[in-house]
Amino acid sequence: MKNFSIINVETEDELKKCWEVVKILRPNFNKEKYLRYINEMRREGYQIIAALINNEIAGYAGFRSMTTLHSGRILYLDDLVTSPKYRKMGIGTKLLQQINALAKEKNKEAITLDSSIDLTSAHRLYLNNHYAIVALHFKTAIKA
């Protein structure tokens, strides 16, 4: 198993390096749209951590602090993805553990996330890390 470190992603260069991994999870984005959205999200409190191996982004997690009536004070995990090149190395679990530590530091009551119904390997990761399936997520598009 390769050694990896977890970093806080803060600079524009680091954001650009993350794109190669993020596009696996968000193929509907191009790099410019990703940077535009991610910078807007960061202004709204979105934070990013990443797993780094030999100066290459191997995994990415993006999250934000929220308070909701249904879940209380939470960290909401928007994005979690590991490069296929580095899967089965414990990177996803390590990123989830870091998110958990941050949630404890921030006195959060829970960590929540949504996951596409077809991502069964992601579901297995979450279930193996003590997450439970507790809701369905519904969405409607706003037509211009």
| DSSP symbol at 87 | T
Q: Give me the domain span that covers residue 58.
A: 5-114
Q: What pLDDT is stored for residue 14 in this prediction? A: 96
Kindly report, residue by residue over 31-62, the tens digit of the pLDDT. 999 999 999 999 999 999 999 999 999 999 99
CATH number, domain containing residue 46: 3.40.630.30
Classify residue 136: in a domain, yes or no. no
Classify residue 89: in a domain, yes or no. yes
Distance CA 64, CA 84 (A): 25
Q: What pLDDT is stored for residue 2 in this prediction? A: 65
Distance CA 26, CA 129 (A): 23
Q: What pLDDT is stored for residue 1 in this prediction? A: 47
| CB distance 26 to 62 below 8 Å | no
**Helix 31-43 and helix 12-25: axis angle, to 10°?**
110
Classify residue 38: in a domain, yes or no. yes
Classify residue 74: in a domain, yes or no. yes
Q: How many domains does the chain have?
A: 1
Kindly report, residue by residue over 56-106, the tens digit of the pLDDT. 999 999 999 999 999 999 999 999 999 999 999 999 999 999 999 999 999
Classify residue 120: in a domain, yes or no. no
